[in-house]
Amino acid sequence: MPELRDDLAVECRGLTKTFEGFRAVDGIDFEVEKGMVFGFLGPNGAGKTTTIRMLSCLIRPTSGTAFVWGHDILTDYMSVKRTVGYLPESPGYYPEMTPVEFLRYFARLFRVDKSREKIEESLRRVGLYEERNLIVRSFSLGMRQRLNIARTLLHDPKLLVLDEPTSGLDPRGTREVRQLILDLGETGKTIFLCTHLLPEVEMICEKVGIVNRGRLVAMDTPDNLRRGISAANVITVELLPDGRTDEMLRRVESLEWVESARFDDDERMIVESNTTVEKRPELAKVLVESGAQLLSIDLKEPTLEDVFMSYTG
């Protein structure tokens, strides 16, 4: 077996899960460094939740294995469970309890030492200390989600596995939970964020893995993934009205990297390129030589949504 690396929080080796002949996860290999906020993307049914349930030792893989902080999920699952704080997509709560009562209950289940101090610390970290004696029923969805994140922090896990943590939240709740994830990442926690919400990934993730039909199809930083796809860049050019001519349009269309060129309803020139290489200086030169007077020339680069669609169809 290859030697384990000390800098890795998660290392998957051929991780596979089959349900009655259906391969939900199909031989996944990937690594997540310690201290990273990692985004795990994929369409519904791609195998995201199955993967993180295996990493959290809630279900066993059919074949392959994974290591969490160096602990094998097959042979050392109790150590893995002490290392991971897992937040499912639809966590439960007890509406008639207070946050203190709720966390005290789970502290007993987790056998947390010095539970009173850990409960207070967890509530402070998620911003609910002042509400610690209120009834959970009165909480907004965002507050309930923060309370459940406090539950995952009780045993001070090294790795937080969050499955769709902002699902169903309103914009304010989404913003609160997103900021909380960022704050936890800055404290040195490793965050494994499972989501299909691309804005979340854009804002908080340092590295992204994309899974489709049970297989890992891409993994890199968001910037590198954007640069690596062949989606057309769109260049928008604003010109003085008197400078536009059909001959100018024909000259632009003749450039080998131009897919199409047209004037839109606002009389701007829209140029689609077939490359991610910067072409605005060359385009500006051609337009000026054609007699155009430029007001602006802007580039719309591929987005993470373009990346996602490119890999998942």
Per-position DSSP letters for 72-112, written without gaps between them: ETTT-HHHHHHHEEEE-SS----TTS-HHHHHHHHHHHHT-
Low-confidence ranges of the chain (pLDDT < 50): none
pLDDT at residue 171 in the model: 87
pLDDT at residue 56 in the model: 95
pLDDT at residue 173 in the model: 84
Two tokens, residue 189: 């926690």
Specify the fold of 228-312.
Alpha-Beta Plaits (3.30.70)
pLDDT at residue 230 in the model: 57
Architecture of domain 8-220: 3-Layer(aba) Sandwich (3.40)
Q: Which of 227, 312, 234, 221 is CA-nearest to residue 272?
A: 234
pTM for this predicted structure = 0.80
**Does 8-220 match 228-312 in CATH topology?**
no
Answer yes or no: are the C-beta atoms of 110 and 154 closer than 8 Å.
yes
pLDDT at residue 100 in the model: 96
- C-alpha to C-alpha distances, 304 to 148, 196, 252, nearest whole angstrom: 29, 11, 28
Residue type, 31: E
pLDDT per residue as tens digits for the range 71-104: 999 999 999 999 999 999 888 888 999 999 999 9
pLDDT per residue as tens digits for the range 4-56: 788 999 999 999 999 998 999 999 999 999 999 999 999 888 999 999 999 99
Distance CA 266, CA 237 (A): 11
pLDDT at residue 104 in the model: 95
Residue type, 42: G
What is the domain partition of the chain in residue ranges? 8-220, 228-312
